[in-house]
């Protein structure tokens, strides 16, 4: 079976991490294939939202530990630059909304790849672990960037140092994720969010994503100018015209993502 399953339904690209016997831990093949699929999603205008989930019981257990230690190990100095950093960069720069549907445990790089997505939802069967400290590593894949911004410095610092597991309910309460859903309805509810996003004015959603990411690196004054620039671009879209027209005609808008 390929380490990534890929299908497009209702304008949503469904990307499934698929090494269930290894809790979807990342080996090189899986990391490179995920990058390739993210590139395909970027190029394909028919795809308006991405949905990343895991096959089986886990979302992803992060780096496949047997691949770091094995004879054919790539070496620590290449794993981040060739595997995880390009994945996190692609997700965060992609001008389309990305939903992480965390179906089970998300550990190490698996957790941090989920947390860099635009909307993170989790099943009650899911949990999040900054597992790195347990094996003498530091959090990577953008974890030190995103986690303190999501839940605050103190909680991020403690979770990263102690490596404690956080369940989905606690993750929602501390603002690490958007929402959790009961395991029985999780897939249905998570997909509903992705389908909703795919039908929205996705160019404006892309600019929203850009503005949020820029906000981390700019002053209020600069960010007001950034918002102005992006808003002018949003106002040029067909979807903006359609949104206004639909409002005036008291009907549901039919957004095309253009």
Strands (E), the chain: 4-9, 12-17, 49-54, 58-60, 98-102, 105-107, 119-123, 127-129, 165-167, 179-181
Tokens for 242, please give them.
């359609």
User: Interface mask (CB under 6 A) for ligand T3D, residues 223-242, using x and -?
Assistant: --------------------
Decide: residue 49, CB within 10 A, 0-12 exposed, 13-18 middle, 19+ buried: buried
Smallest separation, CB 217 to ligand T3D (Å): 25
Question: Do residues 255 and 202 make contact, with C-beta atoms less than 8 angstroms apart?
Answer: yes
Residues counted in the chain: 258
Please say which residue, 80 or 246, places its beta carbon nearer to ligand T3D.
80
Q: Which of 128, 132, 180, 181 is the binder for ligand T3D (CB under 6 A)?
A: 132
Smallest separation, CB 165 to ligand T3D (Å): 7
Please say which residue, 23 or 146, places its beta carbon nearer to ligand T3D.
23
Residues 172-201 that bind ligand T3D (CB under 6 A): none
Smallest separation, CB 30 to ligand T3D (Å): 11
| Beta pairing partners, 54 | 17
Smallest separation, CB 89 to ligand T3D (Å): 16
Tokens 């981390």 found at: 216
Smallest separation, CB 70 to ligand T3D (Å): 11
Q: How many residues bind ligand T3D (CB under 6 A)?
A: 23
What is the DSSP code string of 135-159?
GT----TTHHHHHHHHH-HHHHHHH
Residues 60-119 that bind ligand T3D (CB under 6 A): 61-66, 68, 76, 79-80, 105, 107-109
User: Interface mask (CB under 6 A) for ligand T3D, residues 158-177, using x and -?
Assistant: --------------------
Question: Do residues 37 and 16 make contact, with C-beta atoms less than 8 angstroms apart?
Answer: no
* Interface contacts to ligand T3D, rule CB under 6 A: 22-23, 25, 61-66, 68, 76, 79-80, 105, 107-109, 129, 131-132, 135, 137, 140
């Amino acid at each position: 079976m390929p380490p990534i399953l890929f299908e497009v339904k209702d304008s949503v690209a469904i990307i499934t991490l698929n090494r269930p016997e290894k809790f979807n831990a990342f080996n090189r093949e899986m990391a490179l294939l995920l990058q390739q699929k993210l590139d395909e999603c970027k190029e394909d205008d028919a795809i308006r939202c991405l949905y990343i989930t895991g096959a089986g019981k886990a979302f992803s257990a992060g780096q496949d530990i047997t691949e770091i230690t094995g004879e054919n190990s790539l070496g620590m100095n290449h794993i981040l630059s060739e595997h995880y950093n390009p994945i996190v960069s692609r997700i965060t720069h992609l001008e389309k909304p990305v939903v992480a549907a965390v179906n089970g445990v998300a550990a190490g790089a698996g957790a941090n790849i989920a947390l860099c997505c635009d909307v993170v939802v989790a099943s009650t069967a899911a949990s999040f672990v900054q597992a790195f400290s347990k094996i003498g590593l530091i959090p990577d894949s953008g974890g030190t960037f995103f986690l303190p911004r999501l839940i605050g410095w103190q909680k991020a610092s403690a979770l990263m140092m102690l490596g404690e597991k956080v369940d989905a309910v606690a993750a929602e309460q501390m603002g690490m994720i958007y929402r959790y859903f009961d395991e029985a309805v999780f897939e249905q509810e998570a997909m509903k969010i992705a389908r909703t996003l795919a039908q929205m004015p996705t160019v404006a959603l892309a600019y929203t994503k850009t503005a949020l990411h820029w906000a981390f690196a700019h002053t209020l004054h600069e960010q007001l100018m950034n918002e102005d620039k992006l808003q002018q671009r949003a106002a040029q879209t067909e979807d903006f015209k359609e949104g206004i027209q639909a409002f005036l005609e008291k009907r549901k808008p039919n957004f095309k993502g253009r």
